[in-house]
Amino acid sequence: MATSRESPPLQRLRLTLILLILVVMLGAMGYHWLARINVLDSFYMAITTLFTVGFRELGQVNSATKLFTIFYLVTGLGAATYAVSNLTALIVEGDLQGYLRERRMEKRIQDLRNHVIVCGFGKMGFQAAWELKQAGVPFLIIEKEMNKGSRNPRFEGDIILYGNAMEEITLQRAGLLRARGLITTLTTDADNVLVTLTAKQVAPQVPVIARAAQLGMESKLMAAGADHIVSPYEIGGRRMAALLLDPQLMNYVDVVLDHTPMEMAIEHILVTPASPLVGLTMREARLRDATGALIVGILRTGKGLIFNPKGAETFQSGDVLVAMGNHDTLNGLVKVARGEEKLGLGLS
């Protein structure tokens, strides 16, 4: 019964313990029959002989016992030494600890629901993951380079899955079927296209946001199935121009989006038929007072965006509210829009 270094650590540990127990039991049985001693003394003789302690001999010391002891030392000592060396290697080399750590991570991944998968832990992936963490959204990072980001204090305790995001098995392992979205920020556009294709094959319903490193790649990413495309160079260029053309507007945008001075976010929230908002006007609902969120616009089927809706605007089932506020106020508005909570103020 041999154990291989390529075997899983728990399997190696199990086989090693079985080998050690078998050797001790064979020795105990031999001394029990040959030396005419009880079970406890038999195990005592087997262990002291096997590990060459040599305290004293028990029972009948005859020729048969001596020959058995010689045979037991020659064969059993080698097996015991091999078993002990395997146990030492598992502990000292950290194989067992690493295996158990990986099993715990797999359990955490299995428990994830409605999370975001971030592919690539470069500069963009880092920032995307940090924004998700600030917003309290569960996420998982897939990174091909081993140990990258594992010692980053900002993501201590977060799940980093080391593997190739372009492989279907890695995306399935990351829980893509249970995810609320996927962000791919790999270095090359070809890699992002392949991640998008693979993700859409595994889970067509999951939204994919892809990074476009080069201008003109948007059409290829769209053809691959990307729901949204972000070009950092295009966005950066527009922002630089806007800072000169309308700096006051950009200062306002910074206040809205910068989490440091003021925690603000913009979210699209669906109004369900069970919501107390259905049939109420903006003036009657008084959402600003009830939840603290500001309604910037209403997306309505057949009408498009109703920007800055007036007080007489009536909420309808199926409306998508474009709301602005911090994460607590937006979460409160989400519960009202879903019908999970009643309005605290105004009519309900």
Q: Are residues 69 and 131 in the same domain?
A: no
Q: Tell which wins on pLDDT, 106 or 198.
A: 198
The answer to whether 283 and 312 have CB atoms below 8 angstroms apart is yes
pLDDT category of residue 180 using cuts at 50, 70 and 90: very high
| Mean pLDDT, range 216-233, rounded to an integer | 88
Last residue of a domain, one of 95, 126, 144: 95
The answer to whether residue 261 scores a pLDDT higher than 50 is no
The pLDDT value given to residue 1: 46
Q: How far lies 150's CA from each of 190, 202, 208, in Å?
A: 26, 27, 25
Across 70-84, 126-140, 325-339, least confident range? 70-84
Q: Are residues 85 and 125 in the same domain?
A: no
Q: Are residues 183 and 218 in the same domain?
A: yes
The reply to whether 244 falls in a domain is no
| Mean pLDDT, range 298-308, rounded to an integer | 91
Last residue of a domain, one of 95, 123, 150: 95
pLDDT category of residue 149 using cuts at 50, 70 and 90: confident
The answer to whether residue 256 scores a pLDDT higher than 60 is no
pLDDT category of residue 346 using cuts at 50, 70 and 90: very low
The reply to whether 245 falls in a domain is no
The answer to whether residue 207 scores a pLDDT higher than 50 is yes
The pLDDT value given to residue 226: 93
The reply to whether 103 falls in a domain is no
Percent of the chain with pLDDT over 90: 39
Q: Are residues 72 and 122 in the same domain?
A: no
Q: Which amino acid is at 207?
A: P
Q: Tell which wins on pLDDT, 235 or 270.
A: 270
The three-class DSSP label of residue 144 is coil
CA 195/CA 166 separation, integer angstroms: 5
The answer to whether residue 5 scores a pLDDT higher than 60 is no
Which pair of structure tokens corresponds to residue 342? 């009643």
The pLDDT value given to residue 98: 61
| Mean pLDDT, range 46-57, rounded to an integer | 73
- The boundaries of the domain holding residue 57 are 9-95
- What is the CATH number for 16? 1.10.287.70
User: What stretch of H or E contains 90?
Assistant: helix 63-92
Dihedral over Cα of 314, 315, 317, 319: its sign = positive
| Mean pLDDT, range 119-134, rounded to an integer | 91
The answer to whether 160 and 152 have CB atoms below 8 angstroms apart is no
- What is the CATH number for 178? 3.40.50.720
- What is the CATH number for 344? 3.30.70.1450
| Mean pLDDT, range 132-154, rounded to an integer | 87
The pLDDT value given to residue 204: 94
Q: Are residues 225 and 117 in the same domain?
A: yes
Q: Which of 294, 299, 297 is nearest to 320 (CA)?
A: 299
The pLDDT value given to residue 99: 62
The reply to whether 104 falls in a domain is no
Beta pairing partners, 304: 300
CB atoms within 10 A of CB 254: 12
Within 8 A by CB and 6+ apart from 173, the residues are: 106, 109, 161, 163
Q: Are residues 129 and 45 in the same domain?
A: no
| Mean pLDDT, range 254-280, rounded to an integer | 77
Q: Which amino acid is at 279?
A: G
The pLDDT value given to residue 86: 74
Q: Are residues 146 and 217 in the same domain?
A: yes
Last residue of a domain, one of 35, 60, 95: 95
CB atoms within 10 A of CB 328: 13
The reply to whether 105 falls in a domain is no
Q: Are residues 138 and 70 in the same domain?
A: no
pLDDT category of residue 326 using cuts at 50, 70 and 90: confident
Q: Are residues 80 and 138 in the same domain?
A: no
| Mean pLDDT, range 24-52, rounded to an integer | 84
End-to-end CA distance of the chain: 73
Q: Are residues 37 and 71 in the same domain?
A: yes
The reply to whether 218 falls in a domain is yes
The reply to whether 169 falls in a domain is yes
The DSSP letter of residue 269 is: E
Average pLDDT, the chain: 83
pLDDT category of residue 171 using cuts at 50, 70 and 90: very high
The answer to whether residue 228 scores a pLDDT higher than 80 is yes
Q: Are residues 121 and 204 in the same domain?
A: yes
Packed helices 63-92 and 39-50: angle between N→C axes, nearest 10 degrees? 70
Q: Which of 196, 202, 200, 199 is nearest to 221 (CA)?
A: 196
Q: Are residues 202 and 130 in the same domain?
A: yes
The reply to whether 250 falls in a domain is no
pTM of the predicted model over 0.75: no
The answer to whether 204 and 229 have CB atoms below 8 angstroms apart is no
Q: How many domains does the chain have?
A: 3
The pLDDT value given to residue 119: 96
Which pair of structure tokens corresponds to residue 283? 């003036």
